Amino acid sequence: MKTLNIVSVCGSGTVTSSMIANKVKDLLEDNGFNAKTVEVNPGGVDGVLSSGSYDMIVHTSPLISTYDIPTINAVGFLTGMGEEEFIEELLATAKDLVG
C-alpha cells in the first residue's frame, strides 16, 4: 500500500505540529493507511514541499500560501471541537489519494 506523506504545520513547527502529526499517523494506521509525517511552521512549508513528494498538509496555523495538494485545518483535532469533521475529511482525503 502507498505511504501517505503528510506535512503537519503549527505556529512554531514543534510541539503542536508533532502532537497532530502523531495523532494523524496513528489514526490513519488504525484505518489501514501507511503514513509518514514531517513537522514545520508556516514559513517552512514551501521548503519542505520543494524537497520531497508530499500528499497532504494538516495545519493548526494559517498557511502562508495555497498549495496544489489537499490542506486540512486540524484545529478541531487539537481542541476536540469539530474533531469528527476533521477525522471524516482526513479519512476521505486519504482514500482519494490512495485510490
Query: What's this model's pTM, rounded to 2 decimal places?
Result: 0.94
Torsion angle of alpha carbons 3, 23, 49, 52, nearest 10°?
A: -30
d(CA 17, CA 9): 5
- At 56 the pLDDT is 98
Task: List the pLDDT tens digit at each of the 99 positions of the chain.
Answer: 789 999 999 988 788 999 999 999 999 999 999 999 999 999 999 999 998 899 999 999 999 999 999 999 999 988 989 999 999 999 999 999 998
- At 2 the pLDDT is 87
- At 68 the pLDDT is 94
